Amino acid sequence: MALSNSSMNPAGHSLANNTQWQIFGTIDLNGTSYTNVGGNQWVNSMYVADAADTPAMTPASFVGRINYVPGYGVRLFQINGSTVTNTGRYLQHGTTWKVSGTITINGRGYTNLGGNQWVESQYIVNAADSSATDDSTLPNGTFAVISYAKGYGIAVWQQNSNGTFSVANHAPLTNGTRWAVHKKTTANGRTYYNLGGNQWIQADYAVVGRATGDALTLDVPYVSQYNPVFAPWGCAATAMSMLLGYDGVTIDKSFLTYAQDHLPMYPGNPGGQKGNVYTGAGFGWVIGPNALTDYAHNWDKKVVNVSGASTETIKQLVLTGHPVLYYGWSSYQNLKADTNRNHCKVILGYKDGQFLVHDPLYSNSSKTAGQGGTKELGYNNGYDQGAIYWSTMSKFNAEYNGQALSVNR
């Protein structure tokens, strides 16, 4: 930092960064504040901070790049003690600066760019690490299904000239929608898929696949909600266990008991089930897809929410190795009076315009059509199709209302 005399001409020498000096006063000259460090020696106050009150800085030494939004900048701050002041200056996205260290004030990180000049740490990256790597072109027919949460969407990103990514001016992509993807790249440890042009999505919120045939049956275990654990209103946890079993989680009586006993319940969890899984007391609805996805993450983070997926998208998911749990109708429903989707089943196969389905509402996998709710209703409502059955697209479309989970395996 340059040292000046009382006429504010450079004195010919400078004070090293982070050195400490006794302060004797300040003056304002032509709108600029100067701090006296003894005799006729002054420094620009912008580069001075109170050493007694300022939190200790963690030293760092690298060239940082401002990582914000193209065409915009981030605020430059002064820090005195624990007081952070906006200087009114901005550092443009993509510009590079030498970093001296970092501090944390009130839980927020700041990065020092020399003297008393700071930017929020979330907006600066190591320039040496910020370029994209692992570029690859994907085969034709590769797709991505948005898998975030029911009723939400994810941001579209753009790749900047320096290889970093920032949010694009684009409407969010709705959960469950399917998009063709053409390329894959990695930047700052995060993977992105290209939708065409300079439009990218983060891999964290997408199930990516490419069908290589028009028929496939997946090795999904059949699990009953009656045996070995009797939970007539526990279809959600049981269907969830089929997804988990497909991905390698051990499904036994101990697991099923725990899964039913700890199922998130309403009103403690707003998205939880209303009603006892064992007795049906107080039953109103099954646990919703957002809450069920979160619950499944206790065992497997690869369970994803693909609610909003079309029938064709579900077909593509299954053909690329991703079974689908969906919400539909049970064989016990009087569909003339109740059309709520309060029963969970799992699709594990596709062939010739039909889905292969596991329905947990049977005592074992050998039970066939008519051995479920028909006995209680006195007639087959069309969905007493057996524990394992092939469903036509028309029958599936009648009951499916867009709520679904899968496994990003």
Q: For residue range 43-91, what is the model confidence (pLDDT) as tens digits? A: 787 677 666 556 788 999 999 988 765 566 788 999 988 888 888 898 9
For residue 7, the model assigns a pLDDT of 63
Report the amino acid identity of residue 385: Q
Coil, strand or helix: which one is 77? strand
Closest among 398, 304, 314, 299 to 356, alpha carbons compared: 314
Residue 153, H or E segment: strand 153-154
How many whole angstroms separate alpha carbon 155 and alpha carbon 160? 16
Strand, helix or coil for residue 263: coil
pTM, two decimal places: 0.69
From residue 159, give the alpha-carbon distance in Å to each of 63, 96, 143, 165, 315.
21, 18, 20, 5, 32
Q: What does the pLDDT read at residue 18?
A: 60
**How far is the C-alpha of 246 from the C-alpha of 21, rounded, in Å?**
67
Listed residue (16, 93, 9, 100) closest to 57, CA to CA: 100
Q: How many CB atoms lie within 10 A of CB 353?
A: 11
385, 343 contact by CB (below 8 A):
no
Is the CATH code 3.40.1000 the one for domain 133-209? no
Euclidean distance between CA atoms 278 and 280, whole angstroms: 6
Under 8 Å between Cβ of 243 and 405: yes
Question: Residue 85 to residues 75, 262, 294: CA-CA distances in angstroms?
Answer: 10, 49, 40
Question: 185 has which bridge partners?
Answer: 192
Map tokens 């009087």 to a residue.
334
What fold does the segment set 216-407 form as a domain?
Cathepsin B; Chain A (3.90.70)
- Would you state the pLDDT for residue 130? 46
Structural domain boundaries of the chain? 2-47, 58-126, 133-209, 216-407
Residues 257 and 267 sit within 8 Å (Cβ to Cβ) = no
The residues that bridge with 2 in the sheet, in sequence order, are 14
Q: Compute the residue count for the chain.
A: 409
Cβ atoms of 116 and 99 closer than 8 Å: no
Per-residue pLDDT tens digits of the chain, which is 409 residues long: 555 555 667 777 777 666 777 777 888 787 788 888 777 888 787 677 666 556 788 999 999 988 765 566 788 999 988 888 888 898 987 789 999 999 988 777 899 999 999 998 877 888 776 444 446 788 899 999 999 999 999 999 999 888 899 999 999 999 999 999 999 998 988 899 999 999 999 999 999 999 989 999 999 999 999 999 999 999 999 999 999 999 999 999 999 999 999 999 999 999 999 999 999 999 999 999 999 999 999 999 999 999 999 999 999 999 999 999 999 999 999 999 999 999 999 999 999 999 999 999 999 999 999 999 999 999 999 999 999 999 999 999 999 999 999 999 8
Q: What is the Cα–Cα distance from 147 to 281, expressed in whole angstroms?
A: 33
Q: State yes or no: cis peptide before 289, omega within 30 of 0.
A: no
What H or E segment, with its residue span, contains residue 193? Answer: strand 190-196
The identity of residue 354, as a single letter, is Q
Phi-psi region of 106 (alpha: psi -120 to 50; beta: other; left: phi over 0): left
Closest listed residue to residue 142, CA positions, set 198, 218, 187, 201: 201
